[in-house]
Structure 1
C-alpha cells in the first residue's frame, strides 16, 4: 500500500531552498503583516490553520474592529493569539480615538478584548512628536506589541527621507518594534510607490542613505510586483505588510525561492542534472 507523505518528509532543500527561513516563528526574521479587511470566521479559521505559521502580525484594517459583534471579534482574537500571532486594530481607529479625545477608553477596550498589539500612526491626522512618543510608551506599559507607521494616506503622498529617518529613530527609541512605511491597501500613488504601483527607486535610495537601520522598517506592499521587487532588493527576510490573507503562502513561497519570481533564492552547491 502506498504511504501518504507528511510535511516532515519533505527534504529540507525542498522546504526552504533559500536556506534563509526557519520553521519556528520565534527564530524567524522577515515578518509578514496581514491586513484583514473583514473576512468571516470560517475564512479566518482557514487562514490561521493553513497560513498562520507563515504570518506574524494581523491587522484588522482601518476602524473595522468596532463593527464586529463582540463574540465574533473575541473569537478571531483568540484564534490569532493561540497561533502566536500579534493581532491589532488598524491605526486609523487609534487616530479616531485621538480625534474624539477618547484614547484611554480605546486602550482599556483593546486590552480587555484580547488584542496584543497596537499600531500608532498619523496617516490621516496630525500628531506631534511628544504625543506620538507618549502613545508608544502607553502601549508598551499595557503589554502591547507596538508598531508605528510613517506616511500619509492621501493619494499623491510621498516620503520625505529625512523626516522618515527622524521619525523612525524617535519611534525606536520610544520602544516601537517596527516602523511601517505607508502604502495603503491599494499600493498605488502613496509613499514608495507611484500611480502604477512601481517603486520610486530614487526615493528608496535616499531612504536607505538616511535611515540608520533599514532592517527595522516594514514596507507595506500589497501587490505581488512590489513584494518581488522588495524581496530582490533586501532578500528573503525583508519585513512586508498589508498582505492579503490569501497571499500569505504565495509570499512565503517567494521568500523561500519556491516560486519562479525568486527562484534564484534557492541554492544547490553542486547541481546534478541527472539525479531523480
Structure 2
C-alpha cells in the first residue's frame, strides 16, 4: 500500500508541527475506558495526530492488569504518552490520606506509567500541598502535569497564572488549564487568553476542552471552543481533552481543512 498522501498537491500550513515528538501543537486525547481493539484501530488510522492519552479519572483501577498493560503498550508503540488523570490522585488523597500516595506512585511506575496529573478538581489543595505533592511524585521517578482552574467557578485570571508558576516551580513538565476558566457565556475570555500568552511559556501549557461531564456542555459547544482557540492561538496550540473519535477532525481544524475553514491556519 502506498504511503503517499492522497491529494498530496494540497499543501498543509508550515506553521503546523507534524513530526513526533512535538514540542508545540500537542494533542491530548481522553481515554475513558476505550476497548483495546478500538485503540489499536484508532492509533493505526490516526496515531500520528495524538501525542498524549489521559487514562481518565480513576478508570485505571477498573481494568484487569493484563488489559491495562496491553493498552499502555499500544500507546507506546505509536509514540503516544499515556498518563493517569488527576482525579485518581485526588481520590487516593481523599480516601486514604497523603501516606498512601507513595504506594500510588510506585504502582504507577510498575505498570509502566511515566507521568501522572496532579489536580484539585474535587479535593482542594493549598499552595504548599500542590507544590509538595508535585515534588514528591517527581522524587519517586514520575514526571508530573499540573492542572489549574475550576470546573465550577470562574477564578481571577491572575490566580491561574500564580498556580501555573507554582506548578512549574515545583517541577511540573506541563500545566493544563481548565477549559471552564476560559469561557464566559459561550465566548472566550480574551483577557485571560492574553494573560496566559504574556505570562507563560505556551509550549508548556495545554488548554483543556470542556466535555460532556460538565453540565449543559453540548458537542457543538466543544467544537465552537476548539475553533475559537485555534483561531486565537494558532494551529500549534497544545490542546487537551480531545475526544478519541475526533482526532482526525481536530487535526483538520488545526490545518484549515475543517468546518471553520482555512482562516486560522492562514493567519498564524
TM-score by length of 1: 0.83
Q: Which residue of structure 2 aligns with residue 243 of structure 1? A: 242
Give the 3 Å change call, closer, same or farther, for CA 248–159 of structure 1 in structure 2.
farther
Q: Work out whether 1:199 is the aligned partner of 2:195.
A: no
Alignment of 1:163-182 (within 5 A): 163-182=159-178
Q: Which has the larger radius of gyration?
A: 1
Q: Which residue of structure 2 aligns with residue 119 of structure 1? A: 117
How far did 1:212 drift? 3.5
Do the aligned residues in 1 keep the contact of 2:147 with 2:175 (CA within 8 Å)?
yes
Do the aligned residues in 2 keep the contact of 1:123 with 1:153 (CA within 8 Å)?
yes
SS at match of 1:179: strand
Q: Which residue of structure 1 aligns with residue 41 of structure 2? A: 46
How far did 1:63 drift? 1.1
SS at match of 1:180: strand
Alignment of 1:75-114 (within 5 A): 75-99=70-94, 100-101=96-97, 102-114=100-112
Structure 2: any 5+ residue segments left out of the alignment?
Answer: 211-221
Q: Work out whether 1:213 is the aligned partner of 2:201.
A: yes
**1:168-215 C-alpha deviation (Å, 9 max, x unpaired):** 1121122212211113xxxxxx322245x4323344345545x33344
Q: Which residue of structure 2 aligns with residue 29 of structure 1? A: 24
How far did 1:229 drift? 0.3
Do the aligned residues in 2 keep the contact of 1:181 with 1:217 (CA within 8 Å)?
yes
Alignment of 1:142-153 (within 5 A): 142-153=140-151
Give the whole-Å Cα distance in 2 for the aligned partners of 1:21 and 1:106: 37
How far did 1:22 drift? 3.7
Give the 3 Å change call, closer, same or farther, for CA 262–146 of structure 1 in structure 2.
farther
Do the aligned residues in 2 keep the contact of 1:13 with 1:19 (CA within 8 Å)?
no
Q: Which residue of structure 2 aligns with residue 18 of structure 1? A: 13
**1:96-147 C-alpha deviation (Å, 9 max, x unpaired):** 1112221111111111111121101011112122222222223333443321
Q: Which residue of structure 1 aligns with residue 214 of structure 2? A: none
Give the whole-Å Cα distance in 2 for the aligned partners of 1:216 and 1:162: 18
